[in-house]
Amino acid sequence: MKKLESVEQFQEFKNSGKHVFMFSADWCPDCRVIDPILPEIEEKFSDHTFVYVDRDEFIDLCIEQNVFGIPSFVAFDNGNETGRFVSKDRKTKEQIEKFLTDLPA
C-alpha cells in the first residue's frame, strides 16, 4: 500500500485512475486489526491503487473529506467519488470486500 506524502499527491491520485484511500493512524487498534488482511484485499481488488492516509498527519484533509472516524475508506475514479465506508467502527474483511465489490465497475 502506498503512503500518502502530501495533499498535492492526494489530488493527483484522486484525479487519475481508481484509488482507494484508507484513512488510519498508527495508534488506532481497530486499524491495526485489519493490517494483516490488507495485502490480500489489495491483491483481490488490484484494479484499484490503495493509499494509506495518516489521519494525524493529514487532519485537514480528513476534515475536508468528512472523515471523522477511522479506519475509513474513500474510493475515487478519475476525480469522482465512487464510494465511502466511513465510520469509527472496526471493519471486518467481509465488510471491506463488500464495500469494494459494490463500487461501480
62 catalytic? Reply is: no
Beta bridge partners of 18: 77
Q: Which residues contact 11 (CB under 8 A, 6 or more apart)?
A: none
pLDDT the model gives residue 67: 95
**pLDDT at position 87:** 87
Task: Answer whether 19's CB lies under 8 Å from 48's CB.
Answer: yes
Q: What is the pLDDT of residue 35?
A: 92
pLDDT at 88 (0 to 100): 83
List average pLDDT for each run of 10 residues in the chain, which is 105 residues long: 97 97 95 94 97 97 95 97 92 96 92
The pLDDT assigned to 66 comes to 95
Q: 3-class DSSP state for residue 44?
A: helix
Give me the residues paired with residue 21 across strands.
Answer: 51, 74
Domains of the chain: 2-101 (3.40.30.10)
pTM of the model: 0.94
31 classed as catalytic:
yes
- Active-site hit among 4, 20, 28, 70: 28
Q: Which of 4, 22, 31, 74 is catalytic?
A: 31
- Please say whether the beta carbons of 16 and 78 come within 8 A: yes
